[in-house]
Each structure stands twice: as structure tokens, then as C-alpha cells.
A and B are shown apart, each in its own frame.
Chain A
Amino acid sequence: MQTGNLLLLLVVMVAGAYYLGHRRSYALARPLGGIRHLHSLPFYFAMRSAMWCAIPAMVVLALWLAFDDSIIRQQVLASLPQQLQPTDASSYNLTLSKIQNVASGALPTSFVEPPIAEAAQRLQSLKQTSAMALTVVVIVLCMLGGAWAWLKVSPQLRARQQVERVLQTIFMLCATVAILTTVGIVLSVLFESIRFFGRVPVTDFLFGLQWSPQTALRADQVASGGAFGAVPLFMGTLLISAIALLVAVPVGLMSAIYLAEYASNRVRTVAKPALEVLAGVPTVVYGFFAALTVAPFIRGLGESIGLNVASESALAAGLVMGIMIIPFVSSLADDVITAVPQAMRDGSLGLGATKSETIKKVIFPAALPGIMGGILLAASRAIGETMIVVMAAGLAANLTANPLEAVTTITVQIVTLLTGDQEFDSAKTLAAFALGLMLFITTLVMNIFALHIVKKYREQYD
């Protein structure tokens, strides 16, 4: 049976187990005088039955699906005669794909050696057996689990506690998935970065002022030796992010204050979602808006007052990015400002403070943690943003603080390093991982720093 169908069947069986558990708990409760004589509500007995039915079967199913492919593969390869046994990784893959192609019918048997054809047949039959066995095992486990739970239902059974404990474990596992993923990403980036630093010294990378990652792929190619100084990229990132935050923080904060404190309910219900739509516009749309509208406008403006502005400038990218991240600041700040208790406002107004004094001296300090959270979120969006910069700020790694020149950022360089046909063992592609690691560390440090600031200046109300 196919896995999809098997899952469907599993769902039906679990529902059945739930129903039977429910029925049985009621049946047991009736002679005792109602469900209040049971230790737990019938729902918990039913849930317990459903869990016994589902969880063992699901675990076996998951493990089976995770490992059956590699086990079958090994079995098939082991059955090959000695001279056809693969010796290294590439020939291993080649042989395997040959067998698989024959098995799926894409490659006629006449094109391959007879042992390969045999192996293909073997692969086919093993797969069939495996699927059959899986179906049987899962169904049997399901029934056994369900029956066991059904038999155990009794008025004294502590079903509620057991169900709660299982749920707690499931929640914990879900949280673990997120954490493990993060750890996995960090580790993989870290190891690739270490490989990179094996080729390019760390100091060159961190303090070098030249970024030109083009290296020769083959020995006969004419190319530069490559320079991996990340400083221009960091500068570019910081420059664009700073411009973006300069736009987004004041505008976002003030619009949040307007929405939370001054706007009438009617304005608020329209304006807040409208502002949040800004966050929903795809960044590529912002990108061509920046490249086709804002950048030429800035260049024209610069020329009219005699400035030399590049057609792709940090200013254009930063301004548009600033617009994009306004909702991150405004929406979060608006929420925390609204959450400051009315008693604080009353206290201040009752002393004769004006509305703006109240906002400045009471509400803003009380809402500071949330506001910082919003700004941080906006900053990490700005640092991580790629599309707008690709389209509006260019690829030239200039080391400059002049917002009217073209700059490039870390994320843009990662994109250009990894797109197209690449080999993943050259310094050029590995540099992307090192850049990613740096980016990760930067945002991490920024977060820690901001948390520290918030802790120090927060005014806690209760």
C-alpha cells in the first residue's frame, strides 16, 4: 500500500479507537451512576485510546520510511559481483542511479550489464516487500495499541494525567525541532566557514579592504587571484541599514504614537491594516520601485544641484528599504503603547500634563522594551534584505560612506557567489558561508546588545 493511503487508513483507525474508547468509558460509567464516577472525563479515555493507536504506529512508520531506502540500497549493492562493486563516491552514485533507472524503466535492460539488471529487479522486489511489510506492521501495531488501550479503560485509570503528559512531550518535541534546526544551520555554516578560513586567512577576511571574489576555476583560466576582504561589504550593509532605519524608526514610531494615542477609532481601524500592507508587498516589487523610480529621481535631483550621483545608489536602496520596514516598527510599537495601562495616562493627565508630555515621559519609557523589539526586528530585516539592494544599490564593492555611490551588501554578495554553476569547494563559494556566519554573528551581537539596553532603561509597570 502507498504511504499516503496508509496514512489515511491510520487516521480512520485512530478515529475508530477514539470512538471505541469514548463508548467504553461511557459504558463503564453507566452502572456506576454517570461519568462523574470516572477518574477522568470520557474525552481523556478516548484521547488515550487514540494515542495508543496512533503513536507507536507513527513512530514505526517514520523510522521505516527514514531508513528503508538506504538499507535496500545497501542490500542491492552488496548483491553485485565483485568487479561491479563501486570503489569511490562518484562511481557509487553512478551505479546506483543506473540500477534505479533500470528499475523505473527509464533505461532498457539491454543497455546495462546483466548483474545490474538483476540488481534492478532485486531493488524492485525489495521495495515491494518493504511496502507490504510496512503496511502489515503499521496496521497490526495500530490494532494492538488500540486494543490494549481499550482493554485498560477502567474507572480508576488516570487517563487525564497520561494524556497531559503525552501532550507536554509533543509540545516539547516541537520546540526541539526549531532549536535543533537552528543549531544545525549554525553548525553547517560554521564548518564550511572553517574550510574557507583554511584557504583565506581570517585576518584577510575580517580586515581586508578589497572584495573581488572572482578566482580561476580551472588552471588555464585567466582571472584575478581573488581578494576576500569583507570590510567593504560590511560598510555597505551598515550604510544601507542605517539609512533604512533613519527613515523607518522616526516615521514608524511617530505613526504608532499617532495611531495609539491620537487617532479616532475609525481612523485606526482603517490606517493600521493599511500600514501593515506595506510589510506584505513582495520585496522584489520594492526592488523595481527603487531601481526604476527612486534611483533615477535621486540622480536627477543630485544632478540639478550639481552632485554626481551613481544611478545605483545606497541612498535609493536605503530609502525604499526604510519604507518597507516601517510597519515592523509601527505595528509593534503601536501594540505596546496601547498595552500601557490607562491608569498611567490618567495619573499623568490628572497632574496637568499634556498629551505629548504624557507620551514622552510616561508612556514611552513604559513601552520601551516593545519599541526596541520592533526596531530590532526592523534592523534585522534591513540587514538581511537582499532583493532591493540587488536591484537598486548594485554589485560594486566600494568602500565608501557616501550614500550617493553604489555599494553592495553581504547578502547580495552571497547571492552572486552562489547563483549559477558553481563548484562547492572553491574559495569563492565557501566565502558565502563565511559571510553568512559573519551576518549571523552581527545580528546576534546586536540582539544581545539591545536586550541589555532594554533591561537597563526599562520602566516596569504592573
Chain B
Amino acid sequence: METAQQLDKRSLGNNDAAKDKAIKEQDTMTQDTPYPEQTVGSPYVDDPKMRLRDVEVFYADNQAIHGVSLDIGKNEVVSLIGPSGCGKSTFLRCLNRMNDTIDICRVKGDLRLEDQDLYDPKLDVVELRARVGMVFQKPNPFPKSIYDNVAYGPRIHGLANKKYDLDEIVENSLQKAGLWNEVKDRLHSPGTGLSGGQQQRLCIARTIAVSPEVVLMDEPCSALDPIATAKIEELISELSESYTIAIVTHSMQQAARVSHRTAYFHLGRLIEMNDTDTVFTKPEHDLTEAYITGRFG
């Protein structure tokens, strides 16, 4: 923790020597590899769904994200990879302002969903979160019935006037999440009684029930077994036809399987972003190569 703080203070002062020294302390595997001046690869796309520029995040005086800029294209699956503590989850949580729930967290930079500034003080965060949904690391179904879990979002946003409409939304969402056949006979039993993989698909169904435009997934498979993981990955590929998806993952195979583009984060910086194939076959930056070849992480 102390070295991280030192690192942040020094890098804020733009002291290159100190920065290099701090990196040495932090990570001996990459001691000779300086950070790139700018993100290598192609972080930007034409006509992005989300346009994120110079994002910086602070926890109190501790800087967690240093000037990250990237685009997320329409109906694209973007995966964020990197070693633990590199700020991928923090960055993801900026995209629907879940970081607001942490008192000491401050976000700077220009973050836009289409033309909407995410951190506009006039923005209704409720509306934003309906447009940008989130699936969490640990399945967190509410202690309610399966039906009520999925109907929760539509109810609070008034998406259904009649019971019939609501039933339809619930069925559609469960079907999209590939859970319908497994639970259609027990919609009114508690969601917490499902298996871990089913719970996570329930959470995905709950998220897409409010018809978001973007779905953020924070390590959605890290608590699941391989079979459940395979189901979720399949689901992500299907969902990308109608949604824009950003996924944080620790599994490089998963990133390679599900995403169109991959972003590599290192200690709060975006090192490289490119087509997934390019990142995994011809990484441009040494840090990226070191990580994907398993030299650290």
C-alpha cells in the first residue's frame, strides 16, 4: 500500500526517475519496461457507444486510474484484462457511476455515453443505470423469488403497466439469459436457491430486463465452475448482437473467446488496446506480452 502511494505521489509530480524506481519496487518482472507515453494499439473506434477520455480516479489521495482514454463501439464486446489491482474494476464502475456509492472516490475526465456526459451534475443517475446495467463478480440475486428478481428493474422503472406485460418481460429476459427452461416451473421459488451459475444468469436476466444499451460485467465467471462459465460465455456472445458489453476478466482465454477488442491495464494505466486477435498474437508492448505469456500476473 505504501509503495503504491509513493508511486502515485511521484508520478503526479512527473518525476521520471522516481517513477521508474517505483516501478522497480512494485514489479521486478517488468523493471526495464517503462510505461508507454500513450496507449499503444488502437483504443478508438468510429462512432463509439461510449467515449471515455482522460479518466482519472482517486480514492481519497490515492490515484487508482491514470489518464485512461478508450472507446467502446456499438454492439461490441470489450474485455478489460490486467493483473489484480490494476484498476480494471474501478474503471468499469465509473461507466455507470457505481463508484458514487464509495464516499472517498472521485472521478475526473470526460466520459460520454453517446452524447450524454456521465458526470454531468444534472444527469439523473437512475436513468443512466437503466441504460448501463451491471453484472457483479459474485452472483447477488435478491432474497426474493426468481420472478421478483427479474421483475425488480421493470417495476421500479415502470416498464410494464399490466401483469401481462411484466410476465412477458420476465419470460423474455429469462429466455435471453438461457435460464427460462430451467426455472419456468418454479418462478416463485427463491432466487437464492439456484446454483451459482444459475444465479449469475438470473442476475444477467435481471440486468437485461430493463433493456439497457450497455452491459458491464465485473468478472462474471470468477465464482463459477467451468460448465457454468461456458454457458455464460455463450450467453455473452449471443447478447452482443443486441447489447454493447464491457467485461472485466482474469481469464485471458475468456477474453480471447468472447471479446472483439481487448484492453490491457497495468497499475492504473491503459497500456495497450487492440483487436483481441492482435493483442493475443502480436502484442505491441512488452508489458502486454509479459502478461499474456504468463510471465507475471
Query: Which A residues are within 8 Å of any B CB, using their own CB?
Result: 264-265, 341, 343-354, 357, 361-362, 365-366, 459-462
Contact = CB atoms under 8 A, between A and B. Distances in A.
A354 B143 contact: no
A366 B140 CA distance: 13
A350 B136 contact: yes
B156 A353 contact: yes
B98 interface: yes
Interface in B138-158: 138, 140-144, 152-153, 156-157
A343 B136 contact: yes
Interface string B205-226: 0110010000000000000000
Contacts of A345: 101
Nearest to B100: A349
A351 B136 contact: no
B11 interface: no
A348 B156 CA distance: 10
24 contacts: A264-B103, A265-B103, A344-B140, A347-B136, A347-B141, A347-B203, A349-B101, A350-B129, A350-B136, A351-B129, A351-B152, A351-B156, A352-B126, A352-B127, A352-B128, A352-B129, A352-B130, A352-B156, A353-B153, A361-B152, A459-B143, A459-B144, A460-B143, A461-B143
Contact of B133 (A344, A346, A351): A351
Chain A interface, >50% SS class = helix
A351 B143 contact: no
A360 to B, nearest CB: 10
Most chain A CB atoms below 10 A, which of B103, B126, B157: B126
Contacts of B141: 347
B203 A353 contact: no
Interface string B143-178: 110000000110011000000000000000000000
Contacts of A357: 156
B98 A346 contact: yes
B192 interface: yes
Contact of A365 (B98, B133, B143): B143
Contact of B126 (A347, A354, A459, A461): A354
B127 to A, nearest CB: 7
Given A343-B136, A345-B101, A351-B207, A459 B153 contact: no
Given A346-B140, A350-B134, A352-B128, 16 more contacts: A265-B103, A343-B136, A346-B101, A346-B134, A347-B142, A351-B130, A352-B127, A352-B130, A352-B153, A352-B157, A353-B153, A353-B156, A361-B142, A361-B156, A459-B144, A462-B192
Interface of B: 96, 98, 101, 103, 126-130, 133-134, 136, 138, 140-144, 152-153, 156-157, 190, 192, 203, 206-207, 210
Contacts of B157: 352
B207 A350 contact: yes
Contacts of B152: 348, 351, 353, 361
Nearest to A460: B143
A301 to B, nearest CB: 42
Nearest to A362: B142
A357 B143 CA distance: 15
Q: What are the 9 A-B residue pairs with the smallest beta carbon separation, nearest first? A: A459-B143, A352-B129, A352-B130, A343-B140, A350-B134, A351-B153, A347-B140, A461-B143, A352-B126
A434 B136 CA distance: 59
Most chain B CB atoms below 10 A, which of A348, A352, A366, A459: A352
A366 B143 contact: yes
A265 B96 CA distance: 25
Contacts, number: 76
Nearest to B130: A352
Contacts of B190: 459-460
A462 B96 CA distance: 26
A354 B126 CA distance: 6
Nearest to B209: A351
A213 B190 CA distance: 56
A352 B143 contact: no
A357 B96 CA distance: 18
A49 to B, nearest CB: 47
Nearest to A264: B103
Most chain B CB atoms below 10 A, which of A344, A348, A366: A348
Contacts of A348: 142, 152
A232 to B, nearest CB: 44
B192 A461 contact: yes
A143 to B, nearest CB: 57
A264 B143 CA distance: 27
A449 to B, nearest CB: 23
A365 B149 CA distance: 13
Contacts of B130: 351-352
B142 A459 contact: yes
Contacts of B142: 344, 347-348, 361-362, 459, 461
B59 to A, nearest CB: 15
B129 to A, nearest CB: 4
A350 to B, nearest CB: 4
A343 B203 CA distance: 12
A341 to B, nearest CB: 8
Contacts of B138: 343
B271 to A, nearest CB: 28
Nearest to B139: A343
Contacts of B136: 343, 346-347, 350
A460 B152 CA distance: 17
Nearest to B152: A351
Contacts of B206: 347, 351
Contacts of B96: 350
B222 to A, nearest CB: 14
Contacts of B128: 352
A365 B190 CA distance: 13
Contacts of A264: 103
A357 B190 CA distance: 20
A352 B156 CA distance: 8
Contacts of A462: 192
Most chain B CB atoms below 10 A, which of A264, A347, A348, A362: A347
B178 to A, nearest CB: 20
Nearest to A461: B143
A136 to B, nearest CB: 65
Contacts of B144: 365, 459
A357 B125 CA distance: 14
Contacts of B192: 460-462
Contacts of A353: 126, 152-153, 156
B225 to A, nearest CB: 18
A361 B136 CA distance: 19
Contacts of A349: 98, 101, 129
